[in-house]
Structure 1
Amino acid sequence: MTVRIRKYSWQLAPGAIRDIRQKVFVEEQKVPPELEWDATDEIADHFLAVLPDNTPAGVARLFSTLGETAHIGRMAILPEFRGQGIGETLLRHLITESAGQYPELRLSAQQHAIAFYQRAGFHVCSEPYDDADIPHLDMRCLAPALLENQSGSGRTHPMLLGTDTESWLFDNESSMVDLMDTMVGQAAQRLWLYDRVLDHDRYDRHRFRELVSSLARRHRLSEIRLLIHDDQPLVKRRHQLVELMRRLPSRIELRLVNSDHPYEGQPFILADREGVLYRHDFTRPSGFAGFSDSGRVRLLSENFQRMWDAGRSSLELRELPL
């Protein structure tokens, strides 16, 4: 079905936007009116999906926090128009609207709609909680620009760890970082990282540090291993991962490669038992990411374990003051 999406400010929004939200959220889902109508409406952009004959069919709103994260909310399709692809069209439009502007997209999804958002490239990033007595989970997309570039490719569940079976190729730093963060952000227990150095521009970023910190604190058996060749850049300049490691020594450990033993010539990151981000060499941001590549992860895990067992701790980092 052909659907057009129109964008409005709250002040100029047609009554159909309020009417659809009233019918779906307040009347159908029994959301209290005082929760449905909030001050965020004043700062959000509002989107109306209309059919070829201009019949209003669905709505959503989009707003940003700190100019960095865009939030999708109040997404609703009228009952008589559900199951016709209108929601998918509206969500793709919101991703396009955000790509290039924001590095992260977030939303609060009703539990029954999780699969719908996963098919569009979002992953769960919270435990379940109730909002207006309806079970919800927070979801996010850490690579809206990549999703926009892949629009129409036919990928199912893009970048969903353990499910997306197609490889993602990258040849620039921005794409590599987005894929890396998306993968690390979904790891449930294990993150193994192998590189020549913990490059500051690549790994000493606030978002990456927060993703690693969240993983380290999420599970009592969380295991984060950092295996590098050279620790001198870390000694000379403070690094967020090193500070995090020294605060959570039972969850995060760093070792140096023993060059007297065989070692890999290409860097990689392993997330749980399915995810791998592999670079062709230490110097360039070129390679591929696989989100459901258990065979390759198993092989690289064996190589990593051998290097890890032969490695040694960094005495200089251990002696640095917190």
Structure 2
Amino acid sequence: MEASRTQGKRWVVSSIDETLDATVQMVRKANRRIAIFSPDLEPDVYNNERFLEAVKHLTLGKPFARIRVLIANPAHVVRNGNPFVQLARRLSACIEFRNADEEYRDHREAFLIADETALIYRVDASIWEGIADTNEPAVAHRYLGMFDEIWNASRVEAEVRELRV
């Protein structure tokens, strides 16, 4: 007999608004850690005031909160400006950005992992269709492992350093 899911919620996201709602929900429920992999910090999500407020609440309200962000195209983010990057400049003890190493820049997916249990995953960052799940530690752990591998191979690039992030 299959064990029933007594905790958590899984749903499909298929639009900008649904992705934003899921992202804000995950950040609001997080207690310590957020890991974000994004090609260019999708402005419709990461520039949104609701997301930024959730990040402020997490980083200012929870001791030891940490947000790590990997981006594949930091020049695009810097060129276009980004309120999340500006917020990170003020909260640099809690939020860290890295430019994905050349070897990993062709990854097409985008994902957010919260507290090693919750995640939002889109197989192709250029479309908004994906899965959100508030309690899927095995899957979250798998993608966090990939994130950590890329993180450890990556460094802060000049574009990001200029912003003191």
Q: Same fold (TM over 0.5)?
A: yes
1:22-33 to 2 correspondences below 5 Å: none
Shift of 1:263: 6.7
Separation (CA, whole Å) in 1 of partners of 2:107 and 2:148: 11
- CA deviation map 1:156-177 (0-9, x unaligned): 98xxxxx22x420121111121
Distance 1:315 1:274, change over 3 A: same
Separation (CA, whole Å) in 2 of partners of 1:321 and 1:267: 24
Q: Say whether the 8 Å CA contact 2:72–2:105 is kept in structure 1.
A: no
Separation (CA, whole Å) in 2 of partners of 1:256 and 1:208: 21
Matching residue of 1:240: 83
1:1-322 to 2 correspondences below 5 Å: 163-164=7-8, 166-260=9-103, 264-320=107-163
Please, what TM-score do these two structures have when normalized by structure 2? Answer: 0.89
Identity %: 27
Higher strand fraction: Structure 1 or Structure 2? 1
SS at match of 2:103: coil
Paired residue type of 1:184: V
Please, what TM-score do these two structures have when normalized by structure 1? Answer: 0.47
- CA deviation map 1:21-73 (0-9, x unaligned): xxxxxxxxxxxxxxxxxxxxxxxxxxxxxxxxxxxxxxxxxxxxxxxxxxxxx
RMSD: 2.1
Shift of 1:199: 1.9
Distance 1:321 1:191, change over 3 A: closer
Shift of 1:321: 8.1
Higher helix fraction: Structure 1 or Structure 2? 2
Q: Say whether the 8 Å CA contact 2:40–2:73 is kept in structure 1.
A: yes
SS at match of 1:185: helix
Paired residue type of 1:223: R
SS at match of 1:283: coil
Distance 1:173 1:186, change over 3 A: same
SS at match of 2:131: strand
Separation (CA, whole Å) in 1 of partners of 2:141 and 2:109: 16
Paired residue type of 1:169: V
Q: Any gaps of 5 or more consecutive residues in structure 2?
A: none
